[in-house]
Structure 1
């Protein structure tokens, strides 16, 4: 038997990471793997059907790094993850750099393989000793996210050109996001133009994007606009901020639809332009809706996906552009009209996950692991444990 264990942040709500793990989970199960997913973020509802069975694996302890626990506490947490995992082949995949230290300990206990697959857009700074761990993983070809750009984001000043000998270009496909099922729950009124934003509302690019949209609609007060937001935020604060931003804007009708999965195709039929980042770009681009990809670093437009860029998260050679300028071109010119963008077929999704599965064969499988617990001296561990205790104390009263 083969077992695949994911350590990720959340399976609730809807986001690129959730869609990625959902699709990869389905692929792995069809190819003979027993799958488990452990996560630490709370949720109001698990909206992706095939992730619901993993609700039992909510493990809030993973929210904190390994140095924030005593060795006995670490052992208890590992026991909960490793319980019943006696397969002949075991792979652990972690989706955040902080989770990677947990993943190494899980793989070591189970004598499995740990694949580093950091999906976060903003990577923290790590100490030299912590960087040694990531160096160890990359050189052993145990990093799924090992392009030149991603490794520079990870290693920062510690990056060396030698890492280019260990590259692996990660693709994170998502499918089955749009449904043909009829959904009459939402009535979108007629307008001259319909804009949509798909993705989490607490992402840092959202507020700058709204400012650009407001600038555009203010220049065209003779036109009416529908502004549809598909997505939400963990605490609801972003929804309030967005509603306040559009309050009093007479030529904009605001629709806050929250998390949706799948998204009814009928809802997107009248959309003229979409704005998103990461995998959310592909949702509307695959329907040939002009979709502005926003750079996760500078919050400006990379370009229109499938027309003048194929990047969804970070720009490469593309020059930064104001979102309002790109919106103007899409809505008031023919520059981005009548071009079909090829959608991601299930066959391509399967090919991508097959490449990731095949990567397992290139790893050493020599039973060697990095001693991640030795990274942190007693003083560092003591301060981290104290900090976690303080957080937990205040969480009790929040």
Structure 2
């Protein structure tokens, strides 16, 4: 029997969950028995992954080297007890912190372990933690979702040559359909409609909002409808912060749709311009809407997909120098000056038309990983700097109480320093 284990994202609805749903479907059709573990299994939206709701491992949220060895052993055993013994096991981890746990579990099972890092922004990693990812890189057991993903992970720790900027397409954009939706259907387009697709918890969101407000203030006689498609991951405060920013902006109508899957195609027919990062931006661009691409970490525009960004992967481009960081200016050029009308258009390739072929590449990548069953000693990593505080909290409190303490400290610091 073949077993494929994924440490992934089950809760809510975003690119990670759509990828997971697609990957599970692909694997099961090819005879794999799939098991998915996640740090939380509340509010699973996609039907074919709801069956994993019992695989809630809240400790996955934090790196194992911040727990006592006794506690790590208990958690690892809990995971292994849910996995039937089998001849062939592959383990895939979809986040940096999951990859630490994945290495430990893979060693216990004698499994191959692919660290497939979804997303394009990363919380603080110590040099000793990055030593582990360097080990995975050397063995070609790690990949990102875009050409620059791994360089973003390593940051200033090391510069990667082209051969080590390994990435695999996630194919998570099969999320637009000809369906009706009461929120979208009742939107009556007035003058300018700006759309955004993506989770509102991403780091660039508030900066993007400030840029839209700057544009709105420049053109007080223009009426703007801002449609925000995406959940807030339980961060109600983030939604309130966005609403508060528009209190005195009278020419902007703010429309929250929350999570939509699939996204009604009709929303793009009402939209003049979209903004997004990673796969979310590709969704919009494939609907032939001029789409400003940003990184998850910053509202600085990289460019307009299909117009100033014409060669994939789009992540290879540096921020668009002409605008010197001003998304407001780029919005103005598109909506007021109609700059796209004077440019050639090169539509993004729809790799999802051949999703099976892309996931076949995933399996080929795994097949080329070493068979020697060598693993990194993750528990040899010692907490440093901020991680010492994190480790102290996790060893003093159970997970629910530790989460409360960490959340309080993060709110005081106004950044997620303890992840």
Fold agreement, TM-score > 0.5: yes
Distance 1:104 1:211, change over 3 A: same
Rounded to whole Å, the distance in 2 between the matches of 1:130 and 1:67 is: 10
Residue of structure 2 in register with 1:336 after alignment: 340
* Partner SS state of residue 279, structure 1: helix
Distance 1:31 1:318, change over 3 A: farther
The 5 Å alignment of 1:82-101 reads 82=80, 83-101=82-100
* Partner SS state of residue 387, structure 1: helix
8 A Cα contact 1:295 1:314, kept in partner: no
Q: CA deviation at 1:357?
A: 0.9
Q: CA deviation at 1:166?
A: 4.3
Q: CA deviation at 1:287?
A: 0.6
Q: CA deviation at 1:276?
A: 0.8
Residue of structure 2 in register with 1:205 after alignment: 204
Note if 1:249 corresponds to 2:255.
no
Q: CA deviation at 1:185?
A: 4.3
Tell which deviates more after alignment, 335-344 or 220-229: 335-344
The 5 Å alignment of 1:1-398 reads 1-8=1-8, 10-41=9-40, 43=42, 45-82=43-80, 83-145=82-144, 149-159=148-158, 164-186=162-184, 187-233=186-232, 234-309=234-309, 310=312, 315-316=317-318, 318-319=320-321, 320-337=324-341, 339=345, 341-342=347-348, 344-376=350-382, 385-388=391-394, 389-390=396-397, 392-393=400-401, 395=403
Q: CA deviation at 1:120?
A: 4.1
Aligned-pair Cα RMSD in Å = 2.9
Aligned length: 395
User: How big is each residue's C-alpha offset from its partner over 1:202-236, in whole Å with a ceiling of 9 and x where there is no partner?
Assistant: 22211111111111122222221111111121221
Which consecutive residues of structure 2, in runs of 5 or more, have no partner in the other structure?
409-419
TM-score when normalising by structure 1: 0.89
Distance 1:107 1:227, change over 3 A: same
Q: CA deviation at 1:73?
A: 2.1
Residue of structure 1 in register with 2:414 after alignment: none
* Partner SS state of residue 61, structure 1: helix
8 A Cα contact 1:3 1:35, kept in partner: yes
User: How big is each residue's C-alpha offset from its partner over 1:235-280, in whole Å with a ceiling of 9 and x where there is no partner?
Assistant: 2111111111122322222111111111111233211111111111
8 A Cα contact 2:65 2:378, kept in partner: no
Rounded to whole Å, the distance in 1 between the matches of 2:137 and 2:165 is: 8
Q: CA deviation at 1:313?
A: 5.4
Q: CA deviation at 1:142?
A: 0.6
User: How big is each residue's C-alpha offset from its partner over 1:161-184, in whole Å with a ceiling of 9 and x where there is no partner?
Assistant: 6x6554423322223211212223
Rounded to whole Å, the distance in 2 between the matches of 1:246 and 1:39 is: 36
8 A Cα contact 2:201 2:235, kept in partner: no
Q: CA deviation at 1:79?
A: 2.2
Rounded to whole Å, the distance in 2 between the matches of 1:353 and 1:276 is: 24
8 A Cα contact 1:13 1:46, kept in partner: yes
TM-score when normalising by structure 2: 0.85
Which consecutive residues of structure 1, in runs of 5 or more, have no partner in the other structure?
none
* Partner SS state of residue 223, structure 1: coil
* Partner SS state of residue 306, structure 2: coil
* Partner SS state of residue 54, structure 2: helix
8 A Cα contact 2:171 2:358, kept in partner: yes
Q: CA deviation at 1:19?
A: 2.1
Tell which deviates more after alignment, 183-192 or 221-230: 183-192
User: How big is each residue's C-alpha offset from its partner over 1:264-318, in whole Å with a ceiling of 9 and x where there is no partner?
Assistant: 1123321111111111101111111111111334421111112211455574374
8 A Cα contact 2:10 2:17, kept in partner: yes
